[in-house]
Amino acid sequence: GQSLEQPSEVTAVEGAIVQINCTYQTSGFYGLSWYQQHDGGAPTFLSYNALDGLEETGRFSSFLSRSDSYGYLLLQELQMKDSASYFCAVSKAAGNKLTFGGGTRVLVKP
């Protein structure tokens, strides 16, 4: 089976930096994805890591360590619009489906 662990909730103020950790257990690991979902909205793709290291896309960065079965999403210069749920998801080598974690709810305060 597969399991993913991420914190349930994080609160921070505007302009701050938030790191959302994700640890996973899966056989046949292929890569780690991150999605953002606002309340009532559709999940939207943020990033994908297949290799160890940091991927940077604007204010958001994602990191993967395959040897530690661990990744994180880094949100910098937080804005009110970043208040949302963030999901990590693993994909397996044998197929293309994503298995999602339970999500981390990020609340940004003024």
Partner 1 sequence: GAGVSQTPSNKVTEKGKYVELRCDPISGHTALYWYRQSLGQGPEFLIYFQGTGAADDSGLPNDRFFAVRPEGSVSTLKIQRTERGDSAMYLCASSPGTGVWVFYGYTFGSGTRLTVV
User: Which positions lie near partner 1, rule CB under 8 A?
Assistant: 30-31, 33, 35, 41-46, 48, 50, 87, 89, 91, 95-103
Smaller CB distance to partner 1: residue 42 or 110? 42
Smaller CB distance to partner 1: residue 39 or 110? 39
Task: Please tell me the distance from the alpha carbon of residue 22 to that of residue 69, in angstroms, as a whole number.
Answer: 9
Which helix (H) or strand (E) covers residue 56, if one does? Answer: strand 53-57
Q: How far is the CB of 14 from partner 1 (least distance, A)?
A: 25
Q: How far is the CB of 45 from partner 1 (least distance, A)?
A: 3
Smaller CB distance to partner 1: residue 18 or 91? 91
What's CA 110's distance to the chain center, in Å?
23
Q: What angle do CA 28, 88, 90 make, to 5 degrees?
A: 15
Say whether 68 sits in a helix, a strand or coil: coil
